[in-house]
Structure 1
Amino acid sequence: MPGIGKTTSVLCLARTLLGDTYKEAVLELNASDERGIDVVRGRIKAFAQKKINLPPGRQKIVILDEADSMTPGAQQALRRTMEIYSNTTRFAFACNQSNKIIEPLQSRCAILRYTRLTDEQVLKRLLQVIDAEGVKYSDDGLSALLFTAEGDMRQALNNLQSTWSGFGFVSGDNVFKVVDSPHPLAVQRMIQACTQYNIDGALEELNTLWDKGYSAVDIIATMFRVTKSLPDVSEGDRLEYIKEIGFTHMRILDGVGTFLQIAGCLARLAKLSTKSKA
């Protein structure tokens, strides 16, 4: 369902399966709880041992939110608990990085991966919220919300609420002020100047963004997202641009987040454009 979280999905499923016994047959531990080996040996094991009258074919459910933050020792201890009480208890792990869950636990689970929502799904829910709350907006404001959310419904709603609370109107400029990221139109003009071999124009746009206080990471990340949908550029050129921007992004993350690094990237993009037109 668009706009529903991983843990909320499991809770809804548990309520449907267990009915009136939901409250006593579900144990939920979130990221704010201690998740060391003592909790596994104590609280989780005690819950698994507890006798509860359930509908036929139903089991108790342990939900571990942000399971990737559990210590390796706790995960190892949980492995044995899952085996012993598999007939009466089911375990649901919600995590952002599955590689932090040890392999023995992964092999005991059916893995469901949640992909990012499409812009259409995010827009549908945003319009529902806007209508319900009486929010005033413009089309470019909606486009900005979709651009900054990147398929994350929670981020889209947070940005919508912050923009409405701060400005009383959801426009593109207001959204980008709230999220404090470079305006994609300015970044698009900068990249298009490179495609036209106009390095001076590209550096002028870069100077404007840099003077506004945007970091190298902010600028290069927006460059990557804008380039993916850049108009009037062939697929081959687009891939070369993304490759060059990716290498620059990697250098910036390594600590070389200087103006010169971004300027060098623009120069290389302009050089690529020159080669492609030759």
Structure 2
Amino acid sequence: MQAFLKGGTSSFASKPSKETASSSGRSQTKKKPTPWVEKYRPRSVNDVAHQDEVVAVLKKSLHGGDLPNLLFYGPPGTGKTSTILAIARDLFGDMFRERILELNASDERGINVIRAKVKNFSQLTASGTRPDGRACPPFRIVILDEGGLHDFSCPDACGHACILQAALRRTMEKGSKTTRFCLICNYVTRIIEPITSRCAKFRFKPIIAAVLKERLEAICKAEGVLCDEKALSEIIKISEGDMRKAITLLQSLARLRGSEEIVLSDIVDISGVVPEDVIDNLIRVCHSDSYDKLDSTVQELMAEGHSAVQLLLQLHDKLVEEDKLGDNQKSVIFEKIAVVDKCLMDGADEYLQMMALCTVIMQQICHADK
């Protein structure tokens, strides 16, 4: 959900106990704990950050009081779900929850979902007046998060997803008068053409560093969090344009440090990032041309609990900037990184895969020209 601005503190007044009421007659106020991701979620389309083209088009649609079927796609944490919820608030006001049906493909699967929940909801009529007397569009919105039931990893599941999307296509046609659909996904290529042709497509870009920094600084100020400049830059770097990830990491660090200032070393403890000196040491061992040293170093890395996937990412970024390696050497290493990454995704042993990769790195550094 990248696309976040300041929000109000969520709180409620708790009822006093009989003992408290008799002694003081005053009620106590307790703060309701709210994740910062939800607390600073945009409440209006105007609050959506760094998606200017999307916002400009949607605001014109809102002005006319009508929307087409929508397809939002792009990296995670860029504001896709936040934007459609903000649109619903702008259109329907306080009753927006009654006018939307939000389904997530992670837990709402099967053709019965399309035939039952979506179909029944889309057939309901809606009034053109809000409780406050203002006019609103006489339709409902169905939000299918994670691509309308398509984010599957195996071929059989992908084929099943096509069947579900085909069922959705017919439902979109029949419910066009009373319902608008918003599909949200990371990859638009996984949505079948008959669905995409019925939707207005909007691409959400990764949040740039300047916008991330502005939002994080605003949250730090609102929450009274002290954050070192280097630590803030590292949070932005780790999040890679994902506003949700950045805010969640900031909140975790704030809980860790309390009233103390967040410093760069704290991020390693929370984020799972491998320290730079550990990566540098691994590359130095690869230069040593000693298999025994390499074996002990990789064993130590695994014993310390470092993620092999995270090691791959940081090794890749480090080796890209390595001037001592030629293009041919880098191509061999990066091809091996791709193979190892696929093996890790399939559940391969982390130690064996890291040894296989580091052995290739050592061979390219020490023996490529021999």
Worse-matched range after superposition: 231-240 or 92-101? 231-240
> Offset of 1:94 from its aligned partner?
1.4
1:119 aligns with 2:199: no
- 1:65 is aligned to 145
Q: Deviations over 1:124-158 (max 9, x none)?
A: 32222222222222333224323332221111111
Measure the CA separation in 2 of the matches of 1:33 and 1:241: 38
Task: Note the C-alpha offset of 1:97.
Answer: 4.8
Structure 1 residue 159: Cα displacement:
1.3
Q: Which is helix-richer, 1 or 2?
A: 1
Query: What amino acid maps onto 2:275 in structure 1?
Result: H
**Correspondences of 1:1-278 after superposition (within 5 Å):** 1-2=49-50, 5-16=79-90, 18=91, 20=93, 23=96, 26-31=99-104, 34=108, 36-49=110-123, 50-53=125-128, 60-69=140-149, 72=161, 74-98=164-188, 101-168=191-258, 169-191=261-283, 194=286, 197-200=287-290, 206-228=298-320, 230=321, 232=323, 236=327, 238-274=330-366
Letter in 2 for 1:122: L
Change (3 A) 1:144 1:203: farther
Deviation string, structure 1 residues 22-70 (Cα, Å, up to 9, x no partner): 6388323232875654454444344434143276987543222234437
Determine what percentage of the aligned residue pairs are the same residue: 29
1:161 CA displacement: 1.1
Aligned length: 274
Give distance in 2, aligned partners of 1:210 and 1:134: 37
- Give the Cα separation in 2 of the matches to 1:273 and 1:232: 12
Q: Is the 8 A contact 1:64 1:93 kept in 2?
A: yes
Unaligned runs of 5+ in 1: none
Q: Is the 8 A contact 1:188 1:223 kept in 2?
A: no
RMSD, aligned CA: 3.6
Bigger mean CA deviation after superposition, 21-30 or 210-219: 21-30
Residues 91-132 of structure 1: CA deviation (Å, up to 9, x unaligned): 111133545544432332233332332333322322222222
Distance in 1 between residues matched to 2:336 and 2:193, nearest whole Å: 35
Contact kept, 8 Å, 1:187 with 1:205, in 2: the verdict is: no
- C-alpha displacement at 1:9, in angstroms? 0.4
Gaps of 5+ in 2: 1-48, 51-76, 130-134, 151-159
Contact 1:26 1:63 in 2 (8 A): no
Residue 96 of structure 1 aligns to which amino acid in structure 2? N
**Partners of 2:309 and 2:341 within 8 A in 1:** yes
* Aligned partner letter, 2:118: I
Between the aligned partners of 1:24 and 1:253, the Cα distance in structure 2 is 38
- Secondary structure in structure 2 of the residue aligned to 1:30: strand
Deviations 1:171-191 (CA, angstroms, capped at 9, x unpaired): 232212112342234214423
Bigger mean CA offset, 67-76 vs 137-146:
67-76
Q: Could you tell me how far 1:165 is from its partner in structure 2? A: 0.7
